[in-house]
Amino acid sequence: MKVGIVTFPGSNCDYDAWHAVQLAGASPAYVWHKETSLDGIDVVILPGGFSYGDYLRAGAIARFSPIMTAVVDHARRGGPVIGICNGFQIACEAGLLPGALLRNANLQFVSDMVRLKVENADTMFTHAYAAGQMLRLPVAHGEGRFTASAETLDRLDQEGRVVFRYVDAAGAVTEAANPNGSMRGIAGIVSAEGNVLGLMPHPERAVEAVLGSTDGLGVFQSMLARVSA
């Protein structure tokens, strides 16, 4: 199983993603943003960071990188794609996922450990978890406020495409537990076809106990188990 980790100018979580993929039992490979082919790649990860310095709007320039044509084609053919933080922003800008990630509600960069609830444990990326399971993952972003029309939000909820929400210790979606003001506490969603995941928290930074949590490893284990089945 070969996982391609796309590196843009300004990416800074590509090494973390490499390590997480190795721990999950797959073979990682870096894919430079100027490349035009994903030959031999089974899974694509769009990692976190500040692609192109987040100029204009986070992910807006990276969306036009040469490699993104191949990434979009890969996704359209049903190939798995994980967009983490800046990668989530890029996936939305590229039309792989609905909605947009806007400036945090408090207009400040947030770096913290947050609680998430697994809303849907029946996806390619979450079946290693139990429905309703509580996770602890780190966030680090300035533009993580998921925003979409009421119609889109309703569709995401009705179709079970919201996979993670920010919650408090009791598992409730509250304003205090929401680090960025995301609508309906949304922290992660999947595409209509189920093969593209976007999430703002960093599962690749929560794969070993020394990091404070191992809760992120299930994302990679779920995906790799489903792809290799």
Catalytic residues: 85, 202, 204
Q: Is 36 helix (H, G, I), strand (E, B) or coil?
A: coil
Contact in structure between 112 and 138 (CB atoms under 8 Å):
yes
Q: Up-side HSE of residue 114: CA atoms within 13 Å toward CB?
A: 30
Task: Report the alpha-carbon distance of residue 78 to residue 34 in Å, rounded.
Answer: 23
C-beta of residue 135 within 8 angstroms of C-beta of residue 118: yes
Q: CA-CA distance, 57 to 69, in Å (whole number)?
A: 19
Which residue type is seen at 192?
A: A
Q: What are the φ/ψ torsions at residue 152 (nearest 5 degrees)?
A: -65, -40
Distance from C-alpha of 20 to C-alpha of 142, rounded to nearest angstrom: 24
DSSP type of residue 51: G
CB burial class (10 A; 0-12, 13-18, 19+) of residue 127?
A: middle
Sign of torsion, CA 162 12 140 149? negative
